[in-house]
A and B are shown apart, each in its own frame.
Chain A
Amino acid sequence: DTEVTQTPKHLVMGMTNKKSLKCEQHMGHRAMYWYKQKAKKPPELMFVYSYEKLSINESVPSRFSPECPNSSLLNLHLHALQPEDSALYLCASSQDGTAGQETQYFGPGTRLLVL
């Protein structure tokens, strides 16, 4: 199974809402990632978890809060978002995030719209 799943596929939320994005993989990977992608732009890294510990935070605003409950699951908690946060949020996983030749497997993404 080489699939990364993400739920929900679409999410509309107001600026005062709290919501969560979920990501799951069963490939035994120990590194998981959150990316943000705006239209016609490349994915931009937000967070990296390696062995369930946060290893990279790309200076992401605190209204985005990642969580890695176990090696298969990755969440992104959203609170008090701004309209400019509307984007496609991609989750990815790789073997363990330490080898430069690793391939990253991406999920289909969650399309987020903040009103």
Chain B
Amino acid sequence: SQKIEQNSEALNIQEGKTATLTCNYTNYSPAYLQWYRQDPGRGPVFLLLIRENEKEKRKERLKVTFDTTLKQSLFHITASQPADSATYLCALLYNQGGKLIFGQGTELSVKP
């Protein structure tokens, strides 16, 4: 069955450093992969989408890579700030009916 794994439940880094989060998937060949941010008690907020034919996508301090050979996506936050502290979820579209499957999330904590 399809499986999505984010390699860390929690990641603690110092302000100003680059945070790198990993999303691996198996038994699936998605055309798109998405990353969302979720703050406690709130709904997820869309950050970035990357297509299978795109190696890298950037938005301000965020960068996402997508390696369909390794079946892996990396999510980077450069020059991290305490305000970046949140849970980050990767998500794949299971089929074209809108069924998003989420990884279990990585809780990022950026310390001043």
Contact = CB atoms under 8 A, between A and B. Distances in A.
Interface stretch (A14-22, A61-69, A76-84, A100-108): A100-108
B97 A106 contact: no
Interface in B69-109: 89, 93, 96-105
A48 B42 contact: no
A43 B100 CA distance: 9
A31 interface: yes
Category for how many chain B residues contact A: 20 to 34
Contacts of A92: 43
B99 A56 contact: yes
A76 to B, nearest CB: 15
B100 A45 contact: yes
Contact of B93 (A41, A100, A107): A100
How would you classify the secondary structure of chain B's contact residues: helix, strand, loop or mixed? loop
A104 B96 contact: no
B17 to A, nearest CB: 25
Contact of B98 (A44, A88, A97, A107): A97
A98 interface: yes
Given A50-B98, A56-B99, A105 B46 contact: yes
B16 interface: no
Contact of B46 (A33, A56, A104): A104
A71 B16 CA distance: 44
Contacts of B103: 42
A41 B43 contact: no
Interface of B: 30-32, 34, 41-46, 49, 51, 89, 93, 96-105
